[in-house]
A = this chain, B = another copy of it.
Amino acid sequence: MNTLEALNWRYATKKMNGKKVDEKTIDEILEAARLAPTSSGLQPFNVILIKSDELKQKIQPIAHGQTQIVDCSHLLVFAAWDNYTEERIKERFNQTRGERGLPDTAMADYENMLLNAYVPREAHINFEHAARQAYIGFGIAILAAANLQVDATPMEGFNNEALDELLGLNKLGLKSVTLLPIGYRDADNDWLVNLKKVRESKEKFVIEID
């Protein structure tokens, strides 16, 4: 199945059937998110992996009672850094220098440029920037799942603060931005599965300028 077939196959699954997705497949979806590109390679987000039925049940009311939260196999939470800090930026550059065998002085100008631009900036602006990066990984994870013929429901509709509190994300310097239940569609009981996928026409979506 190629990319377009996968994207046409997928949809925002409204009813899942509770079957488990094997760990190798989940690992591939997580790995796709991990390999996603981010601005300056700072990778300012994490994915929270939730398997426990008990925890999924606690999350369901925070997400408007949506049933995919409990009927999915694995629940992913995409969570962005709440701020860019000197420590976080330096840690990334140190890792990159280390893994590439570069001297401590390498990339110093670029690192300082980012430190000067990001660290003094208001936390909410930095968080918005980090959140956008998380959405790149989110998009890539959605397509990765579709390529593997696994269903996934992109979700923004939940109480972010309540979820952050429940999962203790504040203590990790993270704020949840999206949910992605992973599982299998219950095609017989999903009102959306047979409805036409609607998108803006190609002619309107792509604007050619010369």
Contact = CB atoms under 8 A, between A and B. Distances in A.
Contacts of A168: 209
A141 to B, nearest CB: 8
A16 to B, nearest CB: 16
A7 B210 contact: no
A49 B142 contact: no
Contact of A198 (B95, B132, B142): B95
Interface string A128-161: 1001110111111011100110000010100000
A88 to B, nearest CB: 11
Contacts of A30: 202, 205-206
Q: How many copies does the complex hold?
A: 2
Interface in A12-59: 12, 28, 30-37, 39, 41, 43, 46-52, 55
A48 B210 CA distance: 10
A69 to B, nearest CB: 14
A99 B195 CA distance: 9
B139 A4 contact: no
Nearest to A34: B205
Contact of A139 (B50, B96, B140): B140
A188 interface: no
Interface string A85-114: 000000000011001100000000000000
Nearest to A200: B43
A36 B139 CA distance: 8
Nearest to A54: B210
Contacts of A46: 204-207
B3 A210 contact: no
Interface string A155-173: 0100000000001100010
Nearest to A135: B135
B47 A205 contact: yes
Interface string A188-206: 0000000111111010111
A39 B156 contact: yes
Contacts of A139: 36, 135-140, 143
